[in-house]
Amino acid sequence: MITRMYTNARMSKIVKHAGVVYLCGQVGDGANVTEQTRDCLSRVDALLNEAGSSREHILQATIWLADMADFDEMNAIWDDWAPKGQAPARACGEAKLADPDLLVEVIVTAAVSA
C-alpha cells in the first residue's frame, strides 16, 4: 500500500511504501546558507517524525546547493545535525533552484522506525 500525505495536484510532501519514507525536497527560510540549512533540516525532522521515522533512519540524502562555494558552511550545520555513526548515503551538487533566494534543498529517503 502507498500512503501519500500533504498531496496536491503536483506532489506529495511525504510518500510511504513498503517501510520506506520519501520526502519531497525541503528548503528553509533565512538570509544565508547556515540559516536556510538549519530551517530546512528542522522541516526534515518534522516530516520524518510525522511519517513514523527519524534522522537516525535516513537511508539517503541528496543536497542541492545554489553555489558550491557554500559547501563548507552547509556541512558545518549538516555535521552537527546528522546522527554520529549513522550517516546516510549522501550526494551534494550545485543546481539552479526554483527561487533565486533559495540556497539549499535537501531530499531524503528514510526507513520507517521499527
What is the pLDDT, as a whole number, of residue 8? 97
Domains parsed from the chain with CATH numbers: 2-111 (3.30.1330.40)
Element spanning 109, H or E:
strand 104-111
Give residue 19's pLDDT band: very low, low, confident or very high (50, 70, 90). Answer: very high
What is the pLDDT, as a whole number, of residue 5? 97
What is the pLDDT, as a whole number, of residue 45? 98
Q: Rounded to whole angstroms, what are the CA distances from 74 to 11, 22, 45?
A: 26, 22, 17
Give residue 103's pLDDT band: very low, low, confident or very high (50, 70, 90). Answer: very high
Q: What is the pLDDT of residues 43-87, one digit of tens each?
A: 999 999 999 999 999 999 999 999 999 999 999 999 999 999 999
What is the pLDDT, as a whole number, of residue 35? 98
What is the pLDDT, as a whole number, of residue 13? 98
* Interstrand relation of 58-65 and 89-94 (parallel, antiparallel or unpaired): parallel
pTM value? 0.95
